[in-house]
């Protein structure tokens, strides 16, 4: 099980990516890693931080995709970039998972063209962890991959989110809620009004009804589904709470949990292999946690389990 990481992506890469690898290695010295990046840049940094190369493969990728490049064009024009080469290895089965804190669009396009959606998946999705005030965690999806959604998309997100919450967060029979503007079944916009009956009928999930804005942080449901436009706004608003708390010199465990670095990155769900998209401003801790998440996803075979849940019924 070789975990692949783009060492060149992100505002603080490669220096912080190297430090993240070092921190991961201290926790899991035997897990082999595959680093994609410019050898001449990486080697001195790895040496400087005294990273053991025993379980490390360095794949030389002389080029890199900038944070603001056009994703499709950049992937086509830069076949020697760390992201392009990383996806090549992933699609050939040479690595078990791939992650980057670089150009999000390129990561999504790369995922789309190099590995397949799971059978039956209409739209892959991305999710985030939301810290619940009672100490637990909830899962919110989609958080930006699908800005416009149809009811059947949200219905599938609910299944994928339930599998993820069960396998990765250890929640037995996770409750599912629909992000909405009221508690009653008939409330909502056209999308949520049409989605509610689908979720209610869905036997693969444990639907508990609508979740209003005030219940997102209190975590009424273990899994919360919405379109990617809404989810992205909720996600970024939740992330900003950490900065606001810091600004207010508030240092409580709850607000500390909004620090995105704790979660490492956002996995793409509904595809055949783990792909994790990190925050552009990822530092050492975020890189380490991204690697931990990839290792966990690969070990727990969450994608395989999602595939079984999503397989079209005969």
Burial label, 296 (beta-carbon count in 10 A; 0-12, 13-18, 19+): middle
Q: How many residues make contact with a copy of itself (CB under 8 A)?
A: 40
The DSSP output letter for 261 is G
Distance CA 306, CA 44 (A): 41
Supply the minimum distance, in Å, between the C-beta of residue 111 and a copy of itself.
18
Question: Minimum distance between the CB of residue 236 and a copy of itself, rounded to whole angstroms?
Answer: 3
**At its nearest, how many Å lie between a copy of itself and the CB of residue 248?**
5
Per-residue x/- mask for a copy of itself, residues 84 to 123, rule CB under 8 A? ----------------------------------------
- Selected binder of a copy of itself within 58, 215, 262, 300 (CB under 8 A): 215
Task: Based on the shown chain and the rule CB under 8 A, indicate whether residue 281 belongs to the binding site for a copy of itself.
Answer: no
Binding status of residue 232 toward a copy of itself by CB under 8 A: yes
Which one among 147, 170, 281, 301 touches a copy of itself, defined by CB under 8 A? 147
Which of 111-119, 163-171, 209-217, 286-294 is the region at the interface with a copy of itself (rule: CB under 8 A)?
Answer: 209-217
Considering beta carbons, is residue 261 or 298 the nearer one to a copy of itself? 261
Contacts 24+ apart (CB under 8 A), 45-53: 45/14, 45/15, 45/18, 46/18, 46/21, 48/18, 49/18, 49/19, 49/22, 50/22, 51/18, 51/21, 51/22, 51/25, 52/25
CA distance 71 to 111: 11
| d(C-alpha 146, C-alpha 112), whole Å | 13
Check residue 195 for interaction with a copy of itself (CB under 8 A): no
H-state helical runs in the chain? 15-27, 39-48, 71-77, 82-91, 104-114, 151-167, 190-201, 228-247, 253-256, 284-300, 302-310
Cis peptide before 14 (omega within 30 of 0): yes
Judged by CB under 8 A, which stretch of 153-161, 183-191, 197-205, 299-307 contacts a copy of itself?
183-191
Position among 188, 267, 270, 283 found at the interface with a copy of itself (CB under 8 A): 188
With contacts defined by CB under 8 A, name the span among 12-20, 163-171, 181-189, 268-276 that binds a copy of itself.
181-189
Smallest gap from Cβ 176 to a copy of itself, in A, equals 17
Residue 87 sits at φ, ψ, to 5 deg, of -65, -35
Per CB under 8 A, does 186 bind a copy of itself? no
Is residue 73 a contact point for a copy of itself (CB under 8 A)? no
The answer to whether 127 touches 92, Cβ cutoff 8 Å, is: no
CB of 242 to a copy of itself, least distance (A): 10
| Residue 266 dihedral angles phi and psi, to the nearest 5° | -105, 115
Identify the CA nearest to 115 among candidates 311, 314, 308, 307.
307
Contact stretch for a copy of itself (CB under 8 A) within 24-32, 120-128, 229-237, 289-297: 229-237
Choosing from 235, 271, 277, 298, the residue that interacts with a copy of itself (CB under 8 A) is: 235
Among 11, 119, 152, 243, binds a copy of itself (CB under 8 A): 243
**Degrees, nearest 5: CA angle 246-253-288:** 85
List residues binding a copy of itself (CB under 8 A): 133, 144, 147-148, 179-181, 188-190, 192, 212-218, 227-230, 232-241, 243-244, 247-248, 250, 252, 254-255
């Amino acid at each position: 099980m070789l975990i692949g990481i783009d060492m060149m992506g992100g505002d603080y890469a490669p220096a912080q990516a190297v430090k993240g690898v070092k921190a991961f290695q201290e926790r899991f010295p035997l897990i082999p890693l595959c680093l994609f990046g410019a050898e001449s840049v990486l080697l001195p940094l790895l040496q400087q931080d005294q990273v053991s190369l025993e379980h490390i493969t360095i794949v030389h990728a002389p080029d890199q995709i900038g944070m603001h490049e056009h994703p499709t064009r950049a992937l086509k024009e830069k076949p020697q970039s760390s992201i392009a080469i990383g996806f090549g290895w992933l699609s050939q089965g040479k690595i078990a998972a791939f992650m980057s804190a670089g150009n999000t669009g390129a990561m999504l396009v790369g995922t789309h063209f190099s590995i397949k959606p799971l059978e039956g998946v209409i739209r892959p999705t991305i999710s985030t962890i939301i810290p619940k005030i009672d100490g637990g965690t909830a899962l919110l999806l989609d958080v930006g991959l699908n800005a416009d959604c149809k009811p059947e998309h949200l219905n599938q997100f609910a299944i994928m989110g339930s599998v993820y919450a069960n396998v990765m967060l250890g929640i037995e029979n996770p409750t599912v809620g629909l992000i909405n503007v009221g508690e009653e079944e008939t409330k909502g916009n056209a999308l949520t009004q049409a989605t509610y009956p689908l979720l209610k009928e869905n036997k693969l999930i444990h639907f508990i009804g609508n979740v209003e804005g005030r219940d997102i942080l209190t975590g009424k449901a273990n899994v919360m589904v919405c379109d990617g436009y809404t989810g992205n706004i909720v996600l970024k608003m939740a992330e900003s709470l950490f900065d606001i708390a810091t600004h207010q010199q508030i240092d409580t465990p709850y607000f500390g949990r909004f620090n995105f670095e704790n979660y490492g990155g956002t996995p793409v769900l509904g595809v055949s292999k783990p792909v994790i998209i990190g925050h552009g401003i990822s530092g050492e801790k975020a890189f380490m946690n991204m690697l931990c998440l990839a290792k966990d996803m690969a070990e727990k075979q969450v994608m395989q389990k999602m595939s079984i849940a999503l397989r079209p019924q005969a």
